[in-house]
Chains A and B, each alone.
Chain A
Amino acid sequence: MTVHEHDVELHVNGESHRLTLETRRTLADVLRHELGLFGTNLGCEHGICGACTVIVEGAAARSCLMFGVQADGCDVETVEGLAEGQELNDLQQAFSRHHALQCGFCTPGFLMLGTSLLREERIYSREEIIEIVSSNLCRCTGYQGIVNAVVEVQGRRRVDS
């Protein structure tokens, strides 16, 4: 059977990688299995649960809904890029403080979703943040901790800027 492959270059968390990818591989699987970045998780593989959320060219994207070859030449950010060495970033620390995670399976997706919305110019109300985080599935926490963490970090980052 013919294998359809393309040579691509992905820029992931600031590092460039030249890869030869089969076209049918999703970005999620490429990040995990070609690059060993297992932080991004697969929950449903059809775009419903958001566990696979990463940031592509600055926008939150469900990596199960992209083929790796589509990301040729693109900047991709995953959860592995948030911490500075051993030091968790402010959003990760807030998640910890607010009990925004239990099993942790959905957490990378929420962190990247949160990172994406926190970068925007506009200030989101608590209701709007609830709306946005409700788009990812969490079975453990009941979402309040996630909302509280994002609200707190939005407030802090605004003050500091």
Chain B
Amino acid sequence: MIYHAHPRPKTGSKSHGRRRESHEWPRDAPVKPAPFRYLRPESLHEALVHLTEHGDEAKILAGGQSLVAMMNLRLARPSLVIDIGGLKGLSYIREDEHGVTIGALTRHRHLEHYPAPLSGFEVLPTAAELVGHYSIRGRGTFGGSMAHADSAAEWCVLASLFEAQMVATSQRGDRTIPVEDFFLGLFSTALTPEEVLTEVNLTSSYEHTALHEYARRRGDFAVVTAAVGFDLDKGTIRRPRVVLGGVADRPVVTAAAQSVLEGAKPEAQVFEDAGRAAAASLQTTDDIHADAGLRRDLSASLIRSALASAMERRDGRA
């Protein structure tokens, strides 16, 4: 099938397009994004100046895979959009003795295809494969997902697993926010209007990690996400950490599961007990995607299977 371009609107010279008249695009009908001002700063510094002045009415645009969708549906109507997607120097993945540091504009795709195992954080590339779809991963960013703060999102759950330090930058400089103080509620973070997330430091590594999630279809938003990490010392589980996403308005660390695991043998029964303990302790709610009972069942099941995966392979790949 050949697709013919329709005849171009008549123009004076080839290099100038005809401007559509504004009445041709419905502005007061609630379709298409609502009007907004757009700025594309050439540097982080310039972006921060704009934020200091206009932060209250602005949204940062990075990959746009969450924000533009919301703007198309008019669920978000910022009066100013500050596009930092093209800024250089904010896309990197660094490993050192302290852990892994990820620049906020790192595309999901770069994590997915990271060419070496990220020792102590092996689950990161595996989890990246679960983020959205192929096309989404080519544009969406790690930091953007974090700042969007969907509690079931893979990166948000892993930030909690790895006890991330989030670096928020404003004209006044950098401020480091520990992950437990970063996610404040549904789509809500501790970032102030003048701040942009620039970097995430993952500090707490584990020998065994895994992330399992349940979604209606592969690539859909997860209903429940479970991430686990632990070390093994002489065949005994040490330093277990179990985080659930999608069960509350932010990622939840389940102490109940961790208590079952600490000092226990990495066996199927132990994993099942850990999942059950987490489910029993869970305060969760009904919504259109699942009721509380299903969320508890999913939590138990995903924790159990994630623990088993983490034992089989260090990166938890099924």
Contacts and interface: CB of A to CB of B under 8 A. Distances in A.
A2 to B, nearest CB: 7
Interface in B82-138: 83, 85, 109, 133-136, 138
Interface in B14-29: 15-20, 22, 25, 27-28
Interface in A87-122: 88, 92, 96, 101, 104, 107-108, 113, 116-117
A33 B17 CA distance: 11
Contacts of B136: 47, 62, 135
A39 B3 contact: yes
A135 B35 contact: no
A72 interface: yes
A147 interface: no
A23 B133 contact: no
Contact of A117 (B1, B85, B134): B134
Interface stretch (B61-69, B186-194, B205-213, B264-272): B61-69
Most chain B beta-carbon contacts within 10 A, residue among A50, A70, A101, A116:
A70
Interface stretch (A14-22, A138-146, A153-161): A14-22
Contacts of A117: 134
B9 interface: yes
Interface in A53-73: 53, 56, 59-62, 64-67, 69-70, 72
Interface in A1-45: 1-6, 16-20, 22-26, 29, 33-39, 45
Interface string B16-52: 1111101001011000111111101000000000000
B42 to A, nearest CB: 12
A78 to B, nearest CB: 8
A135 B4 CA distance: 26
B40 A80 contact: no
B219 interface: yes
B238 interface: no
B207 to A, nearest CB: 28
B72 A45 contact: yes
A26 B68 contact: yes
B35 A4 contact: yes
Contact of B8 (A18, A36, A46): A36
B35 A20 contact: no
Contact of A20 (B17, B40, B81): B17
A107 B1 contact: yes
A16 B15 CA distance: 7
A109 B241 CA distance: 41
A113 B133 CA distance: 11
A126 B48 CA distance: 46
B139 interface: yes
Contact of A18 (B16, B83, B138): B16
B37 to A, nearest CB: 5
Contact of B33 (A24, A62, A83): A24
Contact of B69 (A35, A47, A107): A47
A26 B72 contact: yes
A135 B219 contact: yes
A101 B2 CA distance: 13
Closest 6 CB pairs of A and B: A135-B133, A39-B3, A59-B138, A23-B38, A19-B17, A36-B6
Interface of A: 1-6, 16-20, 22-26, 29, 33-39, 45-47, 50, 53, 56, 59-62, 64-67, 69-70, 72, 79-80, 83, 86, 88, 92, 96, 101, 104, 107-108, 113, 116-117, 131-132, 134-135
5 contacts: A36-B6, A50-B135, A59-B138, A61-B138, A70-B61
